[in-house]
Amino acid sequence: MNKFINNNLAINGGKPVRKKLFPPYKVIGSEEKIAVNRVIKSGVLSEFAAKDNPNFYGGREIRNLEKEWAKFYKKKHAIAVNSATSGLFAAIGAAGIGPGDEVIVSPYSMSASATAPIIYNAVPVFADIEDEFFCLDPKSVEQKITKRTKAILIVDIFGQTYDYKKINAIAKKNNLIIIEDAAQAPYSFNSKKLSGTLGDIGVFSLNRHKHIQCGEGGMVVTDDDYLAERICMIRNHGECVVESKKTKNIQNTVGFNFRMTEIEAAITRCQLKKLKKLVKDRQKNCEFLSKELKKIPAIKAVEIREKSTHSYYILPFKFNAKIAKVERNKFIDAVKKELPPTAGRETEGVRIVCGYYQPLYRLPMFQKKIAYASNGGVWEKKFYSGQVNYNIKQFPVTEQMYNNELFFIDLMHPGNKKQDLMDVVNAFKKVWINRKSIK
């Protein structure tokens, strides 16, 4: 680190460590091109129909993708949808959740993990997160259970699975369904089991920022025949088929159009074959960055859960402002001034971020309790007899991570070479050595 002594920080007008944009994350190649051409040549871009015939379940690419995804994840059913958001909505619907029910959700996630219950007029109840792994804290979950609780929608945040032994035991004891949002953690393991397969229903994302992608898309997995059929109904106008299918319980069979097209399915089939390698390459980069950055006394590398792996959607760290004698935000701002954005994501700035999305209970919809209609909808007394409140004081760990400690790096995906990673390390070291000059 000595080579940085008395360097002028870029934030104070000095020369930055690097100007050349970081390489983009490119996962679409010639295999996908061939697959897309195959679909274009066929002229069939979707084969879905909202009728009780085989087309209810989509066309050739969709069904092949679902077969391959189910085999990869060792699940009885895989169902393709047009986003993970749709997948989460369908999962909540399939679980039979409705007005007056409560679903325990994580506040440290993308908003769809908390809005899914709202779509079915149910009430999201936030629990606090773990200090080391940032997933829902089993102790906090247990405290939030009431007689109205029907499910836990749990998130494998940043790329690491939840504490599935403890949480699944809590769910079993209280007869709750577990919906696992594995959007950020494809191909992570916990006790030799794959992420997305730890609960009753698992949901994956295929949007352009995720490990593998098809533009927009999602996958849902389950071993349960009943839940799988329900998800298919919600995907594709279930109300039109319940009569001919002689569906006994028509609750929550009102459908959406959550259908994936044949082109996206064909692309996803190629992407699935690349997943293992893409995750392994990410792990190599992240392990290098973690090893180097934790040499800085104020920076703590992410902890890995026992018997688990991390697939690093993003690479989190904790910052100790007491040791550094400078606040996290000021320190990270100075680091960012030393580095350029990622090619293709220039508008997002340098991909080093303090906190994460603001904790979801802080969104106006929760603070004002307004979802639908003039009185807010799901929280109205005529629907809901519970007492949920969204006071931020209930979530000390989430607040601490968001406001003070957590930052993450997204400059470590495959495509970044050793020198790219070294530039990131050098930016941190330069700022660390010269932190007294941060104003």
Applying CB under 6 A, which of residues 80, 129, 183, 198 lies at the interface with ligand PLP?
A: 183
Tell me if 218 contacts ligand PLP by CB under 6 A: yes
By CB under 6 A, is residue 358 in contact with ligand PLP?
no
Which residue of 181, 292, 405, 410 would you call a contact of ligand PLP, by CB under 6 A?
181
Q: Please, which residue, 115 or 140, has the CB nearer to ligand PLP? A: 115
- Closest to ligand PLP by CB, 213 vs 434, is 213
- Residue pair 412/354 in contact (Cβ under 8 Å)? The answer is no
Q: How far is CA 286 from the centre of its chain?
A: 18
How far apart are CB 60 and ligand PLP at their closest, in Å? Answer: 23
Q: What is the DSSP string of 310-377?
A: B--SSEEEEE-HHHHTS-HHHHHHHHHHTS--BTT-GGG-SSEEES-SPPGGGSHHHHTT-SBTTTBS
Are the beta carbons of 95 and 232 closer than 8 angstroms?
A: no
- Residue 276's contacts (CB-CB under 8 Å, 6 or more residues apart) are 187
Give me the helices (H) in 125-163, please: 138-144
Q: Under the criterion CB under 6 A, does residue 190 sit at the interface with ligand PLP?
A: no
CB 353 to ligand PLP: min, Å: 14
# of chain residues touching ligand PLP (CB under 6 A): 14
Which one, 46 or 106, has the nearer CB to ligand PLP?
A: 106
Instruction: Check binding of 195 to ligand PLP (CB under 6 A).
Output: no
The torsion angles phi and psi of 341, rounded to 5 degrees, stand at -70, 180
Burial class (CB in 10 A: 0-12, 13-18, 19+), 72: middle
Residue 61 vs 181, nearer CB to ligand PLP: 181
Exactly one of 11, 79, 105, 112 binds ligand PLP (CB under 6 A); which one?
112
* Stretch in the footprint of ligand PLP (CB under 6 A) among 21-29, 107-115, 186-194, 319-327: 107-115
Nearer to ligand PLP by C-beta: 125 or 431?
125
Could you say whether residue 85 binds ligand PLP (CB under 6 A)?
A: yes
| 207 is an interface residue for ligand PLP by CB under 6 A | yes
C-beta of 83 vs 252, nearer to ligand PLP: 83
Q: Can you spell out the DSSP letters for 231-300?
A: HHHHHBTGGGTTTTTT-S--TT----B-PPPHHHHHHHHHHHHHHHHHHHHHHHHHHHHHHHHTTSTTEE
112 vs 424, which CB is nearer to ligand PLP? 112
Spatial separation of the C-alpha atoms in residues 437 and 439, rounded to whole Å: 6
Stretch binding ligand PLP (CB under 6 A), from 10-18, 109-117, 251-259, 335-343: 109-117
The set of residues, in sequence order, having a beta carbon less than 8 Å from that of 165 and lying 6+ positions away, is 191
Among 7, 46, 109, 285, binds ligand PLP (CB under 6 A): 109
Give the up-direction half-sphere exposure of residue 129: CA atoms within 13 A in the CB hemisphere: 28
Name which of 93 and 218 has its Cβ closer to ligand PLP.
218
Contact call for residue 155 and ligand PLP (CB under 6 A): yes
Distances (CA, A) of 159 to 180, 285, 338, 350, 398: 12, 14, 27, 21, 17
Task: Convert residues 65-84 into a mask of x (bound to ligand PLP by CB under 6 A) and - (unbound).
Answer: ------------------xx
At 160, give phi and psi (nearest 5°): -120, 140
Least separation in angstroms between CB 202 and ligand PLP: 12
Q: Return residues touching ligand PLP (CB under 6 A).
A: 83-85, 109-110, 112-113, 155, 181, 183-184, 205, 207, 218
